Structure 1
């Protein structure tokens, strides 16, 4: 009896020990962001192999799933519907088929997606259709339906893996009204990220009681106020100021980031950004220790992982080969001919054939007196000869509308002053840089390269004759001499100005901060807007003209030329090497 009692006691102790034993759960979180239609390992615009792509992401994910199986969580952080012609075709040309972007996310097993500003740019008919086609929820806690006061998209998604509860809260930068025409998002508003995060963190904590909270924000980390009221790029502010997040996944600014920050409660938050195009992914390993179903410990580590070593998913390519053929046929249509090669490279140093072609088309299409335009792509060219649909995505990168607005001469002048202040260095000696450059190019930000600021805010003008003195401070750089036809230019006269909808809505703040027009007043200045994107009208224009002879208009230049000319040569070679286009 004593032996039996002893054995039973040991059995109960053993059972108790097993019951109290810790359980370890390993999870992997994979984030993509700013894919911009880069689905295939082929650039349909440049007609060459593309780095990154969802095809490479899929190869990486499938390899990781061999280890993690269902414990791999796949997330996309927005700006997936705009960029390559693949997305454009299913946004606007084939609007009946299952949207290829949703089809791909479904095929790859994404667990949640987030809205980005360029997704909103496609318009409600497109992004609502896409979201409806996605099996995983599209998130947007701070995208509010003005009729109901409720989020237009699901604010968050709760996922459970092996006894661990993970909540993913999605938000977008609220600065949409500064960039996009209201007709694209009518009936919606975009609330402040930090206020929204506080509200939903409380709800998520009380209602869901998650073990891990992930913030997936289509916003970068360098916060600033836009249009006087929209906090842009507030991801880091939320990570630090709103306790409860274990991980904050960023996007939008196309700049790689992987670091840990401390929030106001003293807790560590992993902050990551995989830049763009699926070249790298945010690759996060989480180890959670459970005891009796309760989390006793969690370890979170992240790295940015290159997708190239994993190759291209043959399964992905086979599954989406019909759509690939459709897009190749679409972009291969010939629409006209250019008599010379044009490049954005000379546009940073004076009047150029590339930007002046945009100016000429904007003036012809709108009938305006003055045109404002910038290089939307940092470094691109269209070669002499036949022009195809794919060249149009090179000529004009974004789906902007063409606005005609009323601006005074002084407002045009002041907008240009801010533009050239973003663009040019103030030279104090002939050996200085003429361009405003960063000390170190930002990793992963290829569309910014060595510039301190984005080139899509470097507006020049056509329809007026002017000089830019690179030795003068902001406010004194630009001198407008006359209209292009030689008639006087007046600071107090109201002019019709052709410009894209991004600029017309306050994008880059050239009209608000630069010209001093309030965000609310901008709407009143719009005389007309095209109903389709500018690229559509540029394509029509070239098809009608058949032969385009691009040329620099020569309506502006940098002075003093004895400093500007050699400095331009040096900076050109610094940026692009010695092969001048």
Structure 2
């Protein structure tokens, strides 16, 4: 073996949380963006030309998230999945099951796995009947022509049952991601030969990466910090889920997280030398490669989704109905301070579909434009961005009060005693979707009061709500399961399930009525 043959270099490229973005556009207005798989593909192909030895891994949340993927899931499931066709064409080595992979149902997910030319890894999603990983192998060993062997273990945040429609995850157990990683790392050490251990974890970090201070309730949703500090033998930890941009070392573990929507990719370089008959790591580095105006969208990738994209665009431009007066949003923060016609409209659609008199919903995204007077499907999916269904659960007046106190924690007072968003809802991951606004009750949230005592008014039909009484309330399936740490909703009796997606319910409501008139009864407010 020559001196040159005794050295080699490996590149690991990671995508994560692309959420179905292929074309570099914003579907709300069709303006160009620096995002999407077509542009990411350009970066991937450039890097592939530089390295003989390479791994390309998707870390999850790839088949859901845009009108393109939604339209495919609702109308074109009998055809090939355009996202999988793209991943196949780019020759991915593996993908990890993310929590949003389940959003369109198990059948679509299983079809996607079957269509893939690469394995989907998740060691901790277990089939209850077989007690084995549901989606096949928990890890892969990639061996190159020079004998270099790389182990890649896949794990998924186990918090999925707190969010997902139960019928979509029926028959599955979600085992603790940290404990599963610990078990399989030991298994790999004892049973496999490899030169580098990569853990690809669809999850993020529960602590500040510098100080180690907790950054969220220790629910187990994110366990990356613990993995780096308590598990021996991990060389590289690929992460996601939190939509952050991270490239650094934690306790000697090289860590990367490449944002979301295909705006960046993670790049890990590992340098090896042959020592005493085996490849040994002598250096490693990490960086994020960002899409910008100069990044060209790969025509081959665009072509793989072109037919679906054309049908999606035609569907988005379908007129649905009219809203006299419109429901436009000028300032998302102001919407969350007092009742707004858009929020009242969404709540009333939910109440109409469920046949109940109390409802809650969030303004999911600060970029939500609201509705102009003439409404198309594009307007609907631009405002209601998740494939949620609805549930009616029976909860007490005390549960409602506790939920409002949780919502009130969305706000703080700054040094000038002005109301601001609590940084915990903005960093490290924006969680504006975890602030709900209610219809059917009257309430005031007083932010100058201490946390836990900010609900200063809670009435029903003009009278104080009975905290011991039971009430039927409609909300999205994510919240009804306790998602967002709304523990007061967990395991409550489910009175009714409405399995139609909210986007369809909103469209049907307008189609049936043709014209809806703007209204706002000002039933709640946030005060100093």
Give SS of 2:285's match: strand
Cα shift at 1:292: 6.5
Of 18, 32, 44, the match for 2:15? 32
Confirm or deny that 1:310 pairs with 2:295. yes
Q: Structure 1, residues 239-287: CA drift from partner, whole Å, max 9, x if none? A: 221111110011001111111011xxxxx21011111011111011111
- Asked whether the equivalents of residues 462 and 555 of structure 1 are also in contact (C-alpha less than 8 Å), the reply is yes
Of 133, 138, 144, the match for 1:151? 133
Q: In the alignment, which residue of structure 2 is the partner of 1:235?
A: 224
Pick closer, same or farther for the CA change 1:470–1:109 going to 2, 3 Å.
same
Deviates more, 1:248-257 or 1:60-69: 60-69
- Asked whether the equivalents of residues 142 and 191 of structure 1 are also in contact (C-alpha less than 8 Å), the reply is yes
Confirm or deny that 1:46 pairs with 2:58. no
Confirm or deny that 1:104 pairs with 2:104. no
Give SS of 1:310's match: coil
- Asked whether the equivalents of residues 274 and 281 of structure 1 are also in contact (C-alpha less than 8 Å), the reply is yes
Paired residues, what number?
A: 516
Pick closer, same or farther for the CA change 1:125–1:207 going to 2, 3 Å.
same
Q: In the alignment, which residue of structure 2 is the partner of 1:67?
A: 50
Q: Structure 1, residues 352-381: CA drift from partner, whole Å, max 9, x if none? A: 122211111111111212111111112311
**Would you identify which runs of 4 or more consecutive aligned residues in structure 1 move more than 6 Å?**
224-228
Q: In the alignment, which residue of structure 2 is the partner of 1:400?
A: 388
| In structure 1, distance between residues paired with 2:426 and 2:122 | 32
Of 171, 174, 184, the match for 1:200? 184
| In structure 2, distance between residues paired with 1:480 and 1:342 | 28
Q: In the alignment, which residue of structure 1 is the partner of 2:108?
A: 126
Cα shift at 1:332: 1.9
Of 339, 353, 356, the match for 1:368? 356
Of 453, 476, 480, the match for 2:457? 480
Structure-2-length-normalised TM-score: 0.92
Pick closer, same or farther for the CA change 1:225–1:187 going to 2, 3 Å.
farther
Confirm or deny that 1:342 pairs with 2:331. no
- Asked whether the equivalents of residues 382 and 395 of structure 1 are also in contact (C-alpha less than 8 Å), the reply is yes
Cα shift at 1:202: 2.0
Pick closer, same or farther for the CA change 1:250–1:399 going to 2, 3 Å.
same
Give SS of 2:423's match: coil
Q: In the alignment, which residue of structure 1 is the partner of 2:211?
A: none
Q: In the alignment, which residue of structure 2 is the partner of 1:410?
A: 398
Q: In the alignment, which residue of structure 1 is the partner of 2:521?
A: 553
Structure (1 or 2) with the greater helix fraction:
1
Confirm or deny that 1:172 pairs with 2:156. yes
- Asked whether the equivalents of residues 360 and 439 of structure 2 are also in contact (C-alpha less than 8 Å), the reply is yes
| In structure 1, distance between residues paired with 2:43 and 2:3 | 37
Of 411, 414, 431, the match for 1:424? 411
Of 76, 93, 97, the match for 2:75? 93
- Asked whether the equivalents of residues 255 and 442 of structure 1 are also in contact (C-alpha less than 8 Å), the reply is no
Of 255, 264, 285, the match for 1:301? 285
- Asked whether the equivalents of residues 84 and 116 of structure 2 are also in contact (C-alpha less than 8 Å), the reply is yes
- Asked whether the equivalents of residues 21 and 291 of structure 1 are also in contact (C-alpha less than 8 Å), the reply is no
Structure-1-length-normalised TM-score: 0.84
Q: Which of structures 1 and 2 has the bigger CA Rg? A: 1
Q: In the alignment, which residue of structure 2 is the partner of 1:537?
A: 505
Q: In the alignment, which residue of structure 1 is the partner of 2:471?
A: 495
| In structure 1, distance between residues paired with 2:102 and 2:205 | 21
